[in-house]
Every structure is written in structure tokens, then in C-alpha cells.
Amino acid sequence: MRIIATAAIAATLILPAVAEEKPIALKEAAGRDKVEAHCAACHSLDYIQMNSPFPNAALWDAEVTKMIKAFGAPIDDADAKIIAEYLKKNYGT
């Protein structure tokens, strides 16, 4: 009984916060489909927009490489290049 009451209270507190989340709309440009398909498979796309004032081209290249080599993102070389180019052109400094 206590578990059901706790779950009900938790749902009451959490559901309004989830309902207010807005979808992330990345800039329309070549490569966006690859970014949405590969990057959103593991994390929210809002990281791109939140961090976009900071990365230069070299940092975006390093981020894409890190996602593949350190975190094991299953992205082939061709798609990695497209993703990096999209990020540099649309969210780089």
C-alpha cells in the first residue's frame, strides 16, 4: 500500500515536468539527418545547442571522435565526417 502511494506521489510530481519538455529543432542543413539519427540515439540533442557557443572546428572533430572511440558510438567514417561538418558549420565558432 505504501509503495502505491509513493508511486502516485512521484508520478504527480514528475509527469508535469516531463510534459513541458520541448523537442529540440536543429538547424536545417546538410547532415542534420545523420546528427539526429546517430547522436540522438545516445543523448539529447540539446547538448549541441547548449554547447554551441564554445566549440571551434577542432573541438567538434574531437567530440565526434570521442563519441566513437571512447563511448563506442557505431558511426562509420563517412557519417562521422558528415556529422562533424554539420556541427562545425552550424554550431561552431
pLDDT digits (tens, 9 = 90+) for 35-93: 999 999 999 999 898 887 788 999 999 999 999 999 999 999 999 999 999 999 999 88
**In a domain? residue 30:** yes
Q: How confident is the model at residue 22 (pLDDT cuts 50, 70, 90)?
A: confident
H helical segments located in 1-93: 2-19, 32-39, 46-51, 57-69, 77-91
**Res 18: pLDDT:** 52
Tally of structural domains, the chain: 1
**In a domain? residue 46:** yes
**In a domain? residue 78:** yes
Q: Which domain holds residue 67?
A: 24-91
**In a domain? residue 17:** no
CATH of the domain at 36: 1.10.760.10
Question: What global pTM score does this model have?
Answer: 0.74
